[in-house]
Amino acid sequence: MRYIPGMEIRQFAEQVLFGTRWEDKLVALDRYEDHAPGAGIATPSAPGRPPGLGLDEWHHREKLRFRDVRHFHSEKERGLVLHFFANHELLALELMALALLKFPQAPEKFRRGLVQTLKDEQEHVRLYQRRMQEIGVQFGEIPVGDFFWKAIGPMETPMDFVTSLSLTLEQANLDYARHYAEVYRQLDDPETAAILERIYRDEIGHVKHGLTWFRRWQEAELSEWDSYRQALRFPLGPARAKGIGFNRAGRLQAGLSADYIDELELFSQSRGRCPAVYWFNANCEEQVALGRPGLTPSQRVAELEADFQALPMLLCARDDVVLLREKPSPGFLRRMQGLGFAIPEFVECSADGLAALAERKVNALRPWGWSPDSVELLAPLVEGLPRGGEGPCWSAAIRSLYAKSWSAARLGEFLAVQKADYFCGTDVVGTACETTDQVVAQMECLAVEGFDAVVVKAIYGSSGRGQIHCRGGQLRAEQCGRLENILRQQGQVVVEPWLDKVVDLSLHFDVGEEGEVSVAGWTRFLTDGRGQYRGSFVGSLTAGLDEEVKRFLYGDGRDARRLPKLGEQLAEWLAEPLCAAGYQGPVGVDAMVYRDCDRLRLKPIVEVNPRTTMGRVALKLQQAVNSARTALWLVISRREVTAAGFAGLVECAAVLEAAHPAKLMPDGKQLSGGVLFTTDPAQARSFATVLLVGESLDECEGYLREAGLALK
């Protein structure tokens, strides 16, 4: 180690950055001057390195990944883990030297603070080197990575530097250093644990130094979090500022604001995997009916879209993206995260948000349903899709798949080739009509056949919207007006008998690019008196059903796989026409068990939904609930909670969750009981979703009864 008094900062930084000997990299500096900072330099392709440590050398050698050694199966691996840490420290001091050379006109106090930080990093490298040698590992024994150099080296301003290094990579070390100090203590290696604790304490100061200057340079009108996100440059993102565990105390010591820490703790973003992009467009059916963008949705649909904008997070992986107008509250996200739910990345659904997202690669675009508006909104992201990625899926042929007349035709064809004695007859298959006279004639035919109650359905509409219920083959005057309006807007309606429904079921599957099918499973759902979706059973299909219905669903006890086999059969059969129309993606098929005189029958296709459905979300929620429990996932409205005496959905959620807090199984992986609101009540104007988990259906309903609410 060489001692040089009174060295110029520039000379020191050049020696550290370009030196090829350890004496250069770790040169000790006592007194120093900054009288000749010189001109700024361009970023070199790589820093100088001692033999065996060049950033370009690993391209010619077999690379060892950190995940291959982090399990500490041997003492050798303990040393190799330190090798990775030592290279990170070496890269950090080289990047600090680069910043001193690139930004000679930066404030003197900033440069002097950076020199002190660089000296700390030199000491960290020395500590790692000595400990590695004691364990029997030489620096340069394995190839070194260059990601940090490539990600931070192109920095253009001192603000770029403090944002990417101090507030991102060094902030992450507040987690990593603490975590691995504990790991080495448990491995009975107090010497290495002490080194990591020393580094941890230094990193608090390094983050504080960067934060001081970040705050001085940030835009005054932006919050600390928004300024940080805006200042970061790809390929770095806020997720890189977190390590293993989340050390809140260390961040507070470094001076980060509580609001910033809250945002970072809940932030999620892919570190390498290309994300899928989700968007909840509840008005897709209405958009499909219009056939072009620009529809103003009905009030109810607009409220659903606003209240459920974050709903796709229940379908996402942690690395995925949800587009929305307003991020859920930190309290809600922390509660979901604490119960094991993945928190995806939330991106503002705006021109700026989409433009920023378009600069990255995504592997799939997944709106709730493809329609003219979703095609238009997601168009900026199409170029970022890889070959074979899930992209826009919209055409005139796909529009026809949404029509209930298309579903009715498929039911008729299916019944013609599948002869099961428990299926419905062809007399309940809907008939497409284009005029009021045709509707009346079909109603009269059904009345002759013994069907007094009839439903007339708009061919485009979901959750019971656009239905006209009639009796005795007659349309009332106001119903004639509604029918004429529907026919004028959509061209067709479907007329079918109104059946004595016992159970609503839905099948869920996915159609691939080549028509391949993946069956996700069945769910049972609930509707209200108007046929609008009310909720789904999560897991158990038969909870609360009488024995007759249970026996029917499982082939009178002779065929426990009746529904799974029917699901595979239906999915394979429907995949061909769906694929022929050019569709790929999720499909939901509503089905119904109904009573026909003295026996039960199954209508296997009520309608086909070529989109995501609430049932698909309920199916995904099964992964979060212990299979031995009964669970209900419900939509509740402001109207019903105010009728029960609550001020609104926020108060209702607070009371229910306090009275019956959600509980996890002993392994901490699945819910075993309690109440959890799965959309943010604090954002809700009119609707929220809630998951009820109990030992039985009666216990789940009991949660509601105590609050003055009812399932039906």
- What does 71-119 look like in DSSP terms, one character per residue? T--SHHHHHHHHHHHHHHHHHHHHHHHHHHHH-TTS-HHHHHHHHHHHH
Question: Which of 157, 197, 189, 154 minimizes the C-alpha distance to 44?
Answer: 154
pLDDT tens sequence across 632-644: 999 999 999 999 9
What tens digit of pLDDT does each residue of 300-343 get?
A: 888 989 999 999 999 998 889 999 999 999 899 999 999 999 99
Which residues, in sequence order, are bridge partners of residue 324?
348
Question: Residue 99: CB partners within 8 Å, gap ≥ 6?
Answer: 106, 114, 155, 158, 161, 165
Place of tokens 């963008």: 293
What is the SS3 assignment for 245? coil
User: Count of alpha carbons within 13 Å of 162, Cβ hemisphere only?
Assistant: 24
* HEC secondary structure over 446-457: HHHCCCCEEEEE
To the nearest whole percent, how much of the chain has pLDDT over 90?
70
Which amino acid is located at 598 in the chain?
A: D
Q: Calculate ∠ Cα 677-681-686, nearest 5°.
A: 115
d(CA 149, CA 46): 8
- Per DSSP bridges, beta strands 345-348 and 321-324 are parallel
Which residues contact residue 310 at a Cβ distance below 8 angstroms, ignoring those fewer than 6 apart? 280, 322, 324, 327, 328, 346, 679, 680, 683
Tokens of 215: 């705050």
> Which of 226-235, 502-511, 582-591 is predicted least confidently?
226-235
**pLDDT at residue 508, as a whole number:** 98
Structure tokens, 593: 């068990």
The overall pTM is greater than 0.85: no
Q: What is the mean pLDDT of residues 397-407?
A: 95
Measured CA to CA, the distance from residue 73 to residue 207 in angstroms comes to 33
Nearest to 398 by CA among 584, 252, 525, 221: 584
Closest CA to 497 of 552, 553, 457, 437: 457
- Map out the domains of the chain with their CATH numbers: 3-31+65-266 (1.20.910), 276-394 (no CATH), 430-498 (3.30.1490.20)
Angle formed by the axes of helices 649-659 and 697-706, to 10°? 130
pLDDT at 267: 87
φ/ψ of 585, rounded to 5, equals: 135, -165
Q: Rounded distance, CA 83 to CA 68, Å?
A: 13
Residue 9 has pLDDT above 70, yes or no: yes
Please give the residue that has the higher pLDDT: either 79 or 524.
524
Report the alpha-carbon distance of residue 462 to residue 404 in Å, rounded.
10
Q: Beta strand 321-324 with 28-29: parallel, antiparallel or unpaired?
A: unpaired
Contact assessment for residue 26 and residue 3, using Cβ atoms and an 8 Å cutoff: no
Q: What is the pLDDT of residues 586-613, one digit of tens each?
A: 999 999 999 998 899 999 999 999 999 9
| Per-residue confidence (pLDDT) for residue 319, from 0 to 100 | 87
Q: Which amino acid would we find at residue 418?
A: Q
Strand order of the sheet with strand 364-367?
345-348, 321-324, 276-279, 364-367
pLDDT at 647 over 80: yes
pLDDT interval class at 143 (50, 70, 90): confident
Q: What is the CA radius of gyration of the chain?
A: 31
Length of the chain: 712
Of all helices (H) and strands (E), which one includes residue 490? helix 477-490
What secondary structure does DSSP assign to 142-171, as a single string? S----HHHHHHTT--SHHHHIIIIIIIIHH
Long-range contacts of 622-627 (CB under 8 A, 24+ apart): 622/538, 622/539, 623/670, 624/339, 624/340, 624/341, 624/670, 624/671, 624/691, 625/538, 625/539, 625/670, 625/671, 625/691, 625/693, 626/665, 626/670, 626/671, 626/672, 626/693, 627/539
Q: Model confidence over 412-456: pLDDT tens digits?
A: 999 999 888 899 999 999 999 999 999 999 999 999 898 989 999
pLDDT band of residue 463 (cuts 50, 70, 90) is: low
